[in-house]
Amino acid sequence: MYQKSFFRALVIALALPGSQSAVLPRGSSKSWAGSNEYFLHALPASDQQTYVETLAGWGVKVLRLWVTNVSSGCLKGSTDVLSIPPLESTVGTYDTTVLDALDATLSLLHDNGIKAIISPHNANSLTGSAGCDAYCEKYGDAPTVYSSADAKQDYDNRLNAILEYTSPSFGKQWKDLDDVILAFDLQNEPLIEQTDLLTGNDPDDWLCGRAGALKSSLGSSGIQVATGGIGGSDYCCDHEFNLLQKALDCDAIDILSVHGYMGKASDWAYFITGDQSVLTQANAANKLVMVEEWGVSTDDQDNFDTQVKVFNDAGIPWLYWQVVPGLDASQEGAPSDCGYDTFEIGLNSSKGDVKSAVAAANAATANQSWVGLPGLQR
């Protein structure tokens, strides 16, 4: 998501032809749950500690972090956000301030038994919905970023710079931190708004190419490669692309990330266990699948508690967009003009019982086996 609350979309997966039995049998492990928190690394250490310790106490297993710049001020209920510069103000020139900040956050997560998913770049910064970053400035438009050989090489260099960053907290490169990092996304919502590339099934092989580059850099690491929500929650003409065929067929992709914002639990049920089941498709492709980003607005027909029950009943892991450290906009005393997108849930908010939902996820038998992934063997 990230600065694009105007996208309210269905999650409609592209079904594989025929039906096949699941190849990752249910019953091998428990499910899990967590949250996105793209600006956690920009909060003061004390705010981060309170937040992480609270979620760990609820049983949260995973938080999704972002290699992104953040402006100081008030953001989604947090009034003391610190300024973090981008990794690349110029393509190919790396300022590791953001990696230093994220590394301290990773150390805190590790101390509290929480794993991280790291999104290395935000595709919305190519389209204008989250500004225009160094790649946008250099290549002019998103289609060029996804098709140009030079742009692909620049992006692979960015991935390498992130994976080969040496952690001050752990004394190892990030690519070797499989004790705290569960997965790297290819990007946050790759190919978003690129309808021609999506309907053309990624003709320039950006997805699998970047997945292969990640796999090559990771080597023997246990860290997984996740898609990051292909096409995002933006959609056109009743199509949605989180499970694009190229991703299903790509050996270098381990986890398919589903992003979506539904108003009704029945819509989620249709795409989780119904006629367009992402679980059926992922199991047939021998890949894991998670709901990596989903949110409930205050005006949705079904509330958080009703929608999350679909995931827990199905045994599919989920990460909410987003449980925030500060007050959400529905809470009394919430700061005005603080970058709200209506989907936030504060730690002590009555908007949804996140603590109970996490407990239900941890108790649920997973539809797929997550055994063997460090930190998730349960």
Phi–psi pair at 365, nearest 5 degrees? -70, 125
Kind and range of the H or E element at 226? strand 224-226
Interval 269-307: pLDDT, tens:
999 999 889 999 999 999 999 999 999 998 899 999 999
Q: pLDDT averaged over the chain?
A: 90
Is 90 exceeded by the pLDDT of residue 210? yes
Kind and range of the H or E element at 258? strand 255-260
pLDDT reported for residue 8: 33
Q: How far is CA 161 from CA 64, 142, 175, 232, in A?
A: 19, 22, 10, 25
Interval 148-185: pLDDT, tens:
999 999 999 999 999 999 999 999 999 999 999 999 99
The letter for the amino acid at 120 is P
Three-state DSSP class for 261? coil
Is 60 exceeded by the pLDDT of residue 25? no
Interval 49-76: pLDDT, tens:
999 999 999 999 999 999 999 999 999 9
β-strand pairing of 115-119 with 62-66: parallel
Residues 258/229, Cβ–Cβ less than 8 Å: yes
Instruction: Determine if residue 303 is left, alpha or beta; phi over 0 gives left, psi from -120 to 50 gives alpha, anything else beta.
Output: beta
Compute the distance between CA of residue 295 and CA of residue 35 in angstroms, rounded to an integer: 10
Whose CA is closest to 230, among 222, 241, 239, 221? 241
Residues 288/255, Cβ–Cβ less than 8 Å: yes
Contacts of 308 (CB under 8 A, 6+ apart): 318, 320, 352, 357, 360
Q: What is the mean pLDDT of residues 123-134?
A: 90
Whose CA is closest to 193, among 263, 272, 254, 130? 130
Compute the distance between CA of residue 165 and CA of residue 217 in angstroms, rounded to an integer: 12
Phi–psi pair at 305, nearest 5 degrees? -60, -35
Instruction: Determine if residue 93 is left, alpha or beta; phi over 0 gives left, psi from -120 to 50 gives alpha, anything else beta.
Output: beta
Domains within the chain, CATH numbers bracketed: 33-363 (3.20.20.80)
Three-state DSSP class for 117? strand
Compute the distance between CA of residue 378 and CA of residue 5 in angstroms, rounded to an integer: 35
Which tokens hold the place of 316? 């599919």
Alpha helices of 285-337 — where are they, by DSSP H? Answer: 304-314
Compute the distance between CA of residue 155 and CA of residue 201 in angstroms, rounded to an integer: 20
Residues 261/343, Cβ–Cβ less than 8 Å: yes
Compute the distance between CA of residue 53 and CA of residue 165 in angstroms, rounded to an integer: 26
Compute the distance between CA of residue 270 and CA of residue 264 in angstroms, rounded to an integer: 10
- pLDDT confidence bin for 81, thresholds 50/70/90: very high
